[in-house]
Amino acid sequence: MKKFFLLFVFTFTLLISCTANETTTYYLIRHSEKDRTNPRDRNPNLNIEGEKRAQNWAEYFKDTQIDAVYSTNYNRTIQTATPTAFSNNLKVAIYNPNNMYDSVFQKNTKGKSVLVVGHSNTTPVFANKILDEDKYVNMADDDNATLFIITIKGDEISSKTKKVN
């Protein structure tokens, strides 16, 4: 009985320590360059430069384990996310920017590496929600190259940004 109890305590402690060391990484980007020929088009596709950048993102992430790819439900974000999702044999999951980083999203992404494609006004907000602080401001309208990287390991959260061309 004593051996069983010790085995139980050891197993329980091991499980607790494994989940405490579980790492979740979020890669947040804004959609690539969009077609601006029709200013009234609220759902434009990517332009040629944007298509190239979407491929460049897939190339950038080729040596990174990506477990899930999320996008808002707009042509430009889905088209930005698709090459990376395709190269990782994943489907693009749609998220609602009005409900970003809710409990369901947190549960579904815990312990994973996740690419999230949004907009100049949602990507920094998403980062701030994960961080639970107002660290980042809206992106410039011509900024399609900033990558936000947020890592959660146990109770520790770190973030950084970098330009990827």
Looking only at the bridges linking them, the beta strands covering 23-30 and 113-118 are: parallel
Q: Cα separation of 116 and 71, whole Å?
A: 6
Return the CATH number of the domain spanning residue range 23-163.
3.40.50.1240
The domains of the chain are located at 23-163
pLDDT (tens digit per residue) in 61-100: 999 999 999 999 999 999 999 999 999 999 999 999 999 9
The predicted structure's pLDDT at residue 165: 86
pLDDT (tens digit per residue) in 49-67: 999 999 999 999 999 999 9
The whole-chain average pLDDT of the chain stands at 91
pLDDT (tens digit per residue) in 105-128: 999 999 999 999 999 999 999 999
**Does the pLDDT of residue 15 top 80, yes or no?**
no
Q: Cα separation of 61 and 149, whole Å?
A: 12
